[in-house]
Amino acid sequence: MFGLRHLLGLGLLALSVTAAPQPHKKRTCSTKCFPNGNATISDATATKRTRENWWCPADKMYGFMGFSYPLEVSDCGDASNGFDKINSDFKKMKEMGASMVRVYAPECREKSVWENLLKAGIENNMGIIGMVWWGFGDQGLWVKTRDSINAVLEENPLAPFVFHSMAFGSEPVGDGVEDDGTFVKDMLAWKDTLSKYGINLGISEDWDRQGRLTDGDGLTDFGKQIRDASDNLQLHPMPYYHCDKYPTADNVMDYFSWYIEKLVEPNMPGLPIFVTETQWSSQQGGSHNRGCGEPGEDLDNFKKFWNTWQDNCDYWKQHKVGWFAHTFSDEMEGGFGILDGSGNPKMDFAPPRC
């Protein structure tokens, strides 16, 4: 295990970081907690505290948390997987009010990308939700990602104070990667490993596709197994893909309230709620075809969609829902980004602190 002296040599422990100007008033908790309170990693307080009293309690982690951050290039030497790029993006996210980052689709399987994420989290005083990623091709690659994350956790004492939780895949059930029948067993085994560091585990999943997880009346037996294996909920409420009912973004709050109040709260009570993936495309022919001939895929509906999230702070507070914007920019997942491919905002995006 690396000692703090080694971390200092790597630059993983920044003792004095000049923070970027904060345009958003911080939501502070009753204790000096992270990431929504006043706790900072840069003064090394994490090494003097337990993880349990470091993180803000789940009932304080509501409203806008940050961005979903795709890392979809498999070449670990690519600039997108390097520290300079990741750190620059984290800094921009922080300036836009983010306190956390949700990693999405990490195609690099080496620990270097997780070391770079950890270092950027420390530099910018931000928490991270990591992800084991099955992949777009070879579904067995998830094991390499898991082992890389495990190595970083083992070698870096500050890692549990930056990595809030992990996702055991993104829509692994909906996309059928668990068809070999070992999914729950594998999930529980990794949960046991993460528990040594106090890190929670869930799956990043939509839950409302009837079949494997739900049957129209509630959770299936398999859905209950996943729920019971989860420490938190990392949800994908996506009206964008229900274009038969939501061809435009005019009434998407109806879907969100149904999703939270009728699907999630009755069937998965007591679990902390994050919305880790929800989206709308600002352009036709963007990253994903939703199968309806592309109605409503334009900048106007994109703005309506994200204004719905920004304008319903009281609801997210009432139901203790923390949400992430998918995605940060159009550099990957074109059309979904809050920023365009050149790093310019497509709209006035300044979510209030609930």
Give the tens place of pLDDT for each residue, 84-137: 999 999 999 999 999 999 999 999 999 999 999 999 999 999 999 999 999 876
CA 130/CA 204 separation, integer angstroms: 11
CA nearest neighbour of 310 among 64, 92, 96: 64
β pairing state of 321-326 and 273-275: parallel
Dist CA 312 CA 293 (whole Å):
29
3-state secondary structure 258-322: HHHHHHHHHHCCCCCEEECCCCCCCCCCCCCCCCCCCCCCCHHHHHHHHHHHHCCHHHHHHCCEE
Which is it for the CA torsion 245, 278, 202, 80, positive or negative?
positive
Is 150 among the domain residues?
yes
Listed in sequence order, the residues at least 6 apart from 234 whose beta carbon sits closer than 8 Å to its beta carbon are 102, 129, 165, 167, 202, 203, 204, 205, 274, 276, 277
- Long-range contact list for 183-189, CB < 8 A, 24+ apart? 184/222, 184/225, 184/226, 184/229, 187/226, 187/229, 188/229
Would you state the pLDDT for residue 289? 78
Of 50-59, 125-134, 272-281, give the lowest mean pLDDT range: 50-59
Residue 49 counted as domain residue: yes
Specify the pLDDT at position 290: 85
Residue 14's pLDDT is what? 35
Q: First and final CA of the chain: distance in angstroms? A: 39
- Report the percentage of the chain scoring pLDDT > 70: 88
d(CA 281, CA 290): 10
- 5, two tokens: 């002296």
Residue 12 has pLDDT above 80, yes or no: no
Structure tokens at 334: 């074109």
Pairwise CA distance, residues 303 & 223, whole Å: 34
Structural domain contains residue 256: yes
CA distance 129 to 277: 12
Which residues fall within 8 angstroms of residue 9, CB to CB, at 6 or more apart?
Answer: none
pLDDT tens sequence across 307-339: 999 999 999 999 999 999 999 999 999 999 999
CATH number of the domain at 259, please. 3.20.20
Position 199 in a domain: yes
Sequence-distant (6+) residues with CB within 8 A of 268 are 219, 227, 230, 233
What secondary structure, in 3-state letters, does 86-139 show?
HHHHHHHHHHCCCCEEEEECCCCCCHHHHHHHHHHHHHHCCEEEEEECCCCCCH
Residue-averaged pLDDT of the chain: 89
Span of 38-47, 74-83, 191-200 with lowest mean pLDDT? 38-47
Instruction: Supply angle C-alpha 174, 221, 274, rounded to 5.
Output: 50
CB atoms within 10 A of CB 314: 10
Which residue matches tokens 């309806």? 292
Q: By three-state DSSP, how is residue 234 classified?
A: strand
Boundaries of domain holding 68: 4-15+27-326
pTM above threshold 0.85: yes
- Contact between residue 124 and residue 97 where contact means Cβ atoms under 8 Å apart: no
* 64 sits in which H/E element: strand 63-70
342 assigned to some structural domain: no
Is the confidence at residue 27, as pLDDT, over 50?
Answer: no
Residue type, 104: Y
What distance in Å separates the CA atoms of residue 354 and residue 167, rounded to the nearest whole number?
Answer: 25
Q: Which of 167, 166, 24 is nearest to 93 (CA)?
A: 24
State yes or no: pLDDT of 277 exceeds 50.
yes
- pLDDT for the residue 180: 67
pLDDT of residue 257: 98
- Tell me the mean pLDDT in the region 251-261: 98
Rounded to whole angstroms, how far apart are CA atoms 39 and 143? 33
Domain count along the chain: 1
Cβ–Cβ under 8 Å, residues 312 and 254: no
